[in-house]
Amino acid sequence: MLTFSEAISLLQKNQIVGLPTETVYGLAGRADSVEAIEKIYAIKQRPMTNPLIIHYATKEMALQEGIFCHLGKELVSKIWPGPLTVIVQKSLHSKIVSKAHCNLSSVAIRVPNHPVMHDVLQKVGGIAAPSANLSGNLSPTTAEHVNRAFLGKIPVLDAGACSIGLESTIIDLRQHPFVIVRPGYWTLEKLSERFPNIIFEENNSVDIITPGSSFQHYAPKKRLFLNVLAPFPSEMGVIGFGKIHINENSKCFVQLSEEANLEEAARRIFSALHELDLSSQCSCIGVTPIPGFGIGKAINDRLMRAALQKN
Ligand code: TXA
Ligand code: MG
């Protein structure tokens, strides 16, 4: 098992490690190293057109890296550390190598709320970290998921299961109203209630603002069906939300939240998909309806992308 000091030493030598955050595990490398960034893209098999998120230990450090308007500063000052990534214009003196953000003039920045990740960031400085899965596959919420994705070849700093379980909300701060380009824990409702002086919009346009959001993504290997209702086919592994009546033929069932708690469901959804995808007891996966409000919107966003057919 990788220790904290081993992780630091590997990162300082431009190596790649798996690191925990409160959202999902990240495939981490130094943001100021072309060598490390190239390794991340190669290991993840990520298209070189899909930029990475850069993580910092403190909001003061993060604010140095981009150009923030006063409302943007107000927003991040109150939310960071936390599951929010912002897209801003990159500042002129930033140390982030341009390969990390595909030579775009913008950069995605976040200050995660995880004690282990925080300590690593304090020692190493800015770290680029996409989710620690092969491009297009399910995101990892445990060290075991990361080990499985990379066949044990990437050392992982294990800090248990992620407490949020879905990737950070991404907001583009380059113009006001701010645009939510990836839903997550910070929902439109939560943001509007907490910041009545700021206007947020969801991204309903077909324009590609966040390249990674436009793809079929987060996909299990088995076929995934959404909004399934009992009686379920016998070959279907079922992921349930709330009280579900399971018929006798159903061989595998994973409960997201019997009390129909959306945050609990968010925490478990990727694990549930990983589990049924591996199970020899079912040949496809079905998910019962999950309400589309609050973080339910983010869960459904991930599920919809996961259910798109690979061509
Ligand atoms: O919770 C998270 O955000 C996790 C943890 C590890 O921090 N990271 C994560 O990274 O989800 P990734 O690479 O799986 O997703 C990053 C998304 C991609 O859709 C990418 O296109 C978008 O952020 N992105 C990054 N930089 C961008 C930029 N300059 N402009 C637009 N979109 C950007
Ligand atoms: Mg990802």
User: Which domains are seen in the chain, by residue range?
Assistant: 4-214 (3.90.870.10), 223-307 (3.40.50.11030)
Cβ-in-10-Å burial (0-12, 13-18, 19+) of 24 comes to buried
Q: Provide CB contacts within 8 A for 173, sequence distance 6+.
A: 68, 69, 71, 72, 75, 86, 87, 88
Closest to 200 in 3D by CA, of 227, 169, 223: 169
List residues, by chain if needed, whose CB lies under 5 Å from ion ligand 2: 131
Q: Which residue's alpha carbon is nearest to atom 29 within ligand 1?
A: 107
ipTM of the complex: 0.99
In the reported structure, the alpha carbon of residue 128 is separated from the centroid of ligand 1 by a whole-number distance in angstroms of: 10
- Is 188 touching ligand 1 by the criterion CB < 6 Å? no
Q: Is 20:143 a contact under the CB 8 Å cutoff?
A: yes
pLDDT of residue 6: 98
Asked whether residue 252 carries a pLDDT value surpassing 70, the answer given is: yes
Q: Is 22:123 a contact under the CB 8 Å cutoff?
A: no
What residues does 90 pair with on adjacent strands?
A: 66
Ligand positioned closest to the Cα atom of 211: 1
Per-residue pLDDT tens digits for 11-66? 999 999 999 999 999 999 999 999 999 999 999 999 999 999 999 999 999 999 99
- Is 167 touching ligand 1 by the criterion CB < 6 Å? yes
In the reported structure, the alpha carbon of residue 130 is separated from the centroid of ligand 2 by a whole-number distance in angstroms of: 6
Residues 251, 254, 258, 261: is their CA dihedral positive or negative? negative
Q: Which residue's alpha carbon is nearest to atom 32 within ligand 1?
A: 210
Q: What mean pLDDT do residues 147-173 have?
A: 98
pLDDT of residue 205: 57
Closest to 242 in 3D by CA, of 185, 282, 287: 287
Asked whether residue 273 carries a pLDDT value surpassing 50, the answer given is: yes
How large a percentage of the chain has pLDDT more than 70?
94
Asked whether residue 159 carries a pLDDT value surpassing 90, the answer given is: yes
Distance CA 30, CA 40 (A): 10
- Is 47 touching ligand 1 by the criterion CB < 6 Å? no
Per the prediction, the chain carries an average pLDDT of 94
The dihedral region occupied by 174, where left means phi > 0, alpha psi between -120 and 50, and beta the remainder, is alpha
What residues does 236 pair with on adjacent strands?
A: 284
- Residue 81: band (very low, low, confident or very high) from pLDDT cuts 50, 70, 90: very high
Which segment of 145-154, 203-212, 296-305 scores lowest on mean pLDDT? 203-212
Q: What mean pLDDT do residues 107-134 have?
A: 98
pLDDT of residue 1: 84
pLDDT of residue 218: 86
- Is 162 touching ligand 1 by the criterion CB < 6 Å? no
How large a percentage of the chain has pLDDT more than 90?
89
Closest to 154 in 3D by CA, of 137, 131, 126, 127: 131
- Residue 215: band (very low, low, confident or very high) from pLDDT cuts 50, 70, 90: low
Token match 């609990």: residue?
264
- Is 18 touching ligand 1 by the criterion CB < 6 Å? no
- Is 52 touching ligand 1 by the criterion CB < 6 Å? yes
Ligand 1 pocket test, candidate residues 21, 22, 85, most atoms within 8 A of CB: 85
- Is 306 touching ligand 1 by the criterion CB < 6 Å? no
- Residue 203: band (very low, low, confident or very high) from pLDDT cuts 50, 70, 90: confident
Helix (H, G, I), strand (E, B) or coil at 109: strand
- Is 203 touching ligand 1 by the criterion CB < 6 Å? no
- Residue 209: band (very low, low, confident or very high) from pLDDT cuts 50, 70, 90: low
pLDDT of residue 206: 45
Which segment of 12-21, 208-217, 254-263 scores lowest on mean pLDDT? 208-217
Q: Which residue's alpha carbon is nearest to atom 3 within ligand 1?
A: 168
Binding-site residues for ATP, please?
46, 50, 131, 139, 218
Asked whether residue 190 carries a pLDDT value surpassing 90, the answer given is: yes
Asked whether residue 248 carries a pLDDT value surpassing 90, the answer given is: no
Q: What is the 3-state secondary structure (H, E, C) of 179-226?
A: EEEECCCCCHHHHHHHCCCCCEEECCCCCCCCHHHHCCCCECCCEEEE
Q: Provide CB contacts within 8 A for 102, sequence distance 6+.
A: 48, 49, 50, 51, 211
Helix (H, G, I), strand (E, B) or coil at 229: coil
